[in-house]
Structure 1
Amino acid sequence: MLTRKKVQNSVILVFGILILLNIIASRFFFRIDYTEDQRYSLSNATKNILVSLDEPITITAYFSEDLPPNILKVRQDFRDILVEYASYSNGQIVYEFVNPSESEETELKAQQSGIQPIMINVRERDQVKQQRAYLGDIIQIGDKKEVIPFIQPGAAMEYTLSTNIKKLSVKNKPQIAFLQGNGEPSLGAMQQLNNQLSVLYDVGTVKFSDTAGIPLQYKTLVVVAPKDT
């Protein structure tokens, strides 16, 4: 049978362990990912982008404060992922969270930067009401910036963030060219593909008649659905 002194000692020990864990967690962020699909772990592609950064990046996250629990989870997940980004970048990534609703000036600055409010459904006393909310961020390197007006949950969060960081940080993009003049669709007809490739590549065109002398700067020649043979 436990004596009162032993019980008191056990309680003190438990509190001591909790305090120690809290100190460790405050000094060193870590998160062990037990999920089968590793949904909370950064991809190797993202890690490679972060470790190669050679200039500071500022990420300003615009999130409303009074959000329902499911939206608050997105905010917490984004904060967690930014902690990991900052850690892998060796301090090159600096971030802050701003509540646009705290003042008219802050809200106006967010909107002028490209972050617009969205409408979300909020349940109150068995009623569903709509509420304005901000869930976006701005990534900036020097005078260059990319705007993510709406932060999506899940894997899209890391993909969008890493793609925009890569887009801003890359200095010498590899050049690729689309073959034109043999019935292929124009770049204008492939706007979505062109936009996606332009994130990481300088995209150009080469005429079919010039293929005997393709400029050396192009690393890849892309041929899409030629119609003329």
Structure 2
Amino acid sequence: MNKTIRSLLFPLILVVVNIISILFFFRKDLTEEKRYSISDASKSIVSGLEEPIEIEVLLDGDELPGGFERLKQAVEETLGEFKTYGGANVSYTFFDPNSLTNPEEKKALIDSLYFKGVQPTNVFDTDGGRKTETMVFPFALVSYQGKEQTVLLLQGNQALSAEEKLNQSYENLEYSFASAFRKLTIKERKRIGLLTEFTSLEPINFAGLINALQEYYDLYFVDAATSESFLGLDALILPKPDIRIDDSTKYKIDQYVMNGGKTLFFIDGLKVDSIGLQGTYAQPFESNLQDLFFKYGIRLNYDMIKDGASAAMVPLVVGNMGDKPNIQPIPYRFFPLINNFGQSLITKNLDLVESKFTSSIDTVLSSGISKTALLKTTPYTKILNAPALVTYNDARSNTDQQEYNGGEKTIAYLLEGKFSSLYENRILPSDPRSGAFKAKSEPTKMIVCSDGDLIVNELDRRTGEPMPLGYDKVSQHTFGNKDFLMNAIDYLVDENGVINARGKEVKLRPLDAIKTRDNRTQIQLVNLVIPSILIIIFGLVRGFFWRRKYAH
């Protein structure tokens, strides 16, 4: 009887476990960095789909280089997690455009992909001692309700090694797909206000900013003079003002913050006019917001940063080649390239950010406000106090380490907490504004950046059309300015949203190159010979007991 019960017990346990697994959905990610988990916001997006969403991954093929093969596997794992929570409403396929054998069909497909923003990457590798070139398409196309969104799979900081950049691409996958899903499925859009009346630049100079925001948000050009307040907006942006902000607008900004409004300030410390052959002197820009910032916990300095170790290029005449000038790109220290980021979801895995004529920001004591440095220079800086001479001839001289010893300087801060009003104890009961006045804010956030040019796009001199935000004509590279802007907005207005997916971390665990070189034989023995011996021993022992059991 006991033997019969024992024989039935194991199948019975299996049946019970299967019934429980059907009734109660449960998953446990045992990896240290939660590689096989997605954020609650991502789960909410795919579980709330009204119709099927289709993903076509173009990163496929039998001859993918090793790093891209791992990226493909990571894409499949990520989409598998989305499908777990989205069910039948999430479907994905892999397709290699190189698999087409008909040249005309292949060309037509690649042309159509170019139109959608898909640009292949040529990867050079070695195979059997021979150099090979493979055209790889690190993109995916996401379709929903007749709309389509292109997702770039290969993302990361261009200054890092190929291995580190691929690792950042793994970390960004969930955020990239979730952002595309959100854009295609969003119903209620946040309201963003743009306070442009205090800048002399035209809207075309902010085309990159405007187009990027309008993809996800409802954008409003705010007229401060005719607006009683800025309440009703989810965020307010002040882009590169070069006209003094009046007291009335300053009060409206303060009370917007006190009512929990989110704000972004892209404002210069010094004002730079056109630079001639002899240069020009940058003068302090009196924005009328210095006391406001000081009350909130920061000080925007009247200075200019020169970065001697990381700077964008400018074309300069360095001599003659025959009877023609020899023009070469030379680092220009007044244009710091930011590759030093604080610990924040906003800047995680961000590409280099290009800045121009930027000032430093210091923090001051402010109770209840946490301050996170977002963008920082290298330690090799030199500070020029106003009035600061700005000249292109500066690029002709080399960086002197003894001169560029100012240390890291912060050019963008994230401030979070409960702010105190600049007008606290200054509004009398008889003041008409006293009824709605608030002296202490609700918990809120703001970002202050001491470079207005960070969100300004250049114009094509031939056509007059706007360049992409962050595009540098000299290097022909698009820096991470747009990503910084969009991450900042997401963090401010969608704090429980897909921005949290940027917190995923996949750690690199490289082998010790020296130890693997010196102990190559031992490592091969441990990984190849010993497992084989253990399998043989297990087989012999199992065979011995099997013969012994059935010998009689």
Q: Does 1:202 align with 2:205?
A: no
- Equivalent pairs, count: 201
CA distance in 2, matches of 1:44, 1:193: 29
Flag the structure with more relative contact order, 1 or 2, with Cα contacts below 8 A and sequence separation at least 6.
Answer: 1
1:69 aligns with 2:66: yes
The CA distance in 2 between the partners of 1:87 and 1:110, in whole Å, is 32
Alignment of 1:1-229 (within 5 A): 32-35=29-32, 37-65=33-61, 66-103=63-100, 104=102, 105=105, 108-109=108-109, 111-113=111-113, 114=116, 115-152=118-155, 153-183=169-199, 188-212=204-228, 218-226=233-241, 227-229=243-245
More off after superposition, 150-159 vs 191-200: 191-200
CA deviation vs aligned residue, 1:156-208 (integer Å, no higher than 9, x gap): 22221111111111123122221221238665444444444334312121122
**TM-score, normalized by length of structure 2?**
0.33
Contact 1:78 1:157 in 2 (8 A): yes
* Displacement after TM superposition at 1:215 (Å): 9.1
TM-score scaled to structure 1, two decimals? 0.73
Deviation string, structure 1 residues 59-104 (Cα, Å, up to 9, x no partner): 1111231212221111111111111111112322111111212223
Q: Is the 8 A contact 2:47 2:85 kept in 1?
A: yes
Determine if contact 1:60/1:95 at 8 Å carries over to the other structure: yes
Q: Where do 5+ consecutive residues of structure 2 fail to align?
A: 1-24, 156-168, 246-552
Once the two structures are overlaid, the 10-residue window that deviates more, 100-109 or 45-54, is 100-109
What CA deviation, in whole Å up to 9, does each residue of 1:77-133 have, x standing for no partner?
Answer: 111111111111232211111121222336633541433432012211234332212
1:180–1:208: 8 Å Cα contact kept in structure 2? no
What letter corresponds to residue 151 of structure 2 in structure 1?
Answer: I
Mark the CA change 1:39 to 1:225 in structure 2 (over 3 Å): closer, same or farther: farther
1:123 and 1:150 mapped to 2: Cα distance? 23
Identity level (%): 21
| Greater Rg over alpha carbons, structure | 2
Taking a change above 3 Å as real, the CA distance of residues 201 and 108 of structure 1, as seen in their structure-2 partners, is same
1:31 CA displacement: 7.4
TM superposition shift of 1:149 = 4.9
Q: Decide which moves more: 52-61 or 42-51.
A: 42-51
Q: For the aligned residues, what is the CA RMSD?
A: 3.1
Letter aligned with residue 112 of structure 1: S
The structure with the greater share of residues assigned to helix is 1
SS in 2 for 1:180: coil
SS of residue in 1 equivalent to 2:71: helix
Unpaired segments ≥5 residues, structure 1: 1-27
User: Could you say if the C-alpha distance between residues 178 and 51 of structure 1 is closer, same or farther in structure 2, counting changes exceeding 3 Å?
Assistant: same
SS in 1 for 2:181: helix
1:45 Cα deviation from its structure 2 partner: 2.6
Per the alignment, do residues 92 and 128 of structure 1 end up closer, same or farther by CA in structure 2, a change over 3 Å counting?
same
2:51 is paired with a residue whose SS is coil
Deviation at 1:138, TM superposition (A): 0.5
How far apart are the structure 1 equivalents of 2:108 and 2:46?
A: 31
Q: Secondary structure at the match of 1:198?
A: helix
Cα distance in structure 2, aligned partners of 1:190 and 1:39 = 38
Tell whether the 8 Å contact from 1:137 to 1:151 is kept in structure 2 after alignment.
Answer: no
- The AA in structure 2 aligned to 1:223 is L
Q: What is the alpha-carbon distance in structure 1 between the residues aligned to residue 149 and residue 194 of structure 2?
A: 26
Partner letter of residue 139 of structure 2? G
Partner of 1:9: none
Question: Residues 225, 75 of structure 1: CA spacing in aligned structure 2 closer, same or farther, 3 A cutoff?
Answer: same
SS of 2:88's partner is coil
Question: Aligned AA for 1:222?
Answer: I
Counterpart Cα distance in 2 of 1:120 and 1:191: 33
- Pick closer, same or farther for the CA change 1:120–1:64 going to 2, 3 Å: same
CA distance in 1, matches of 2:230, 2:200: 17
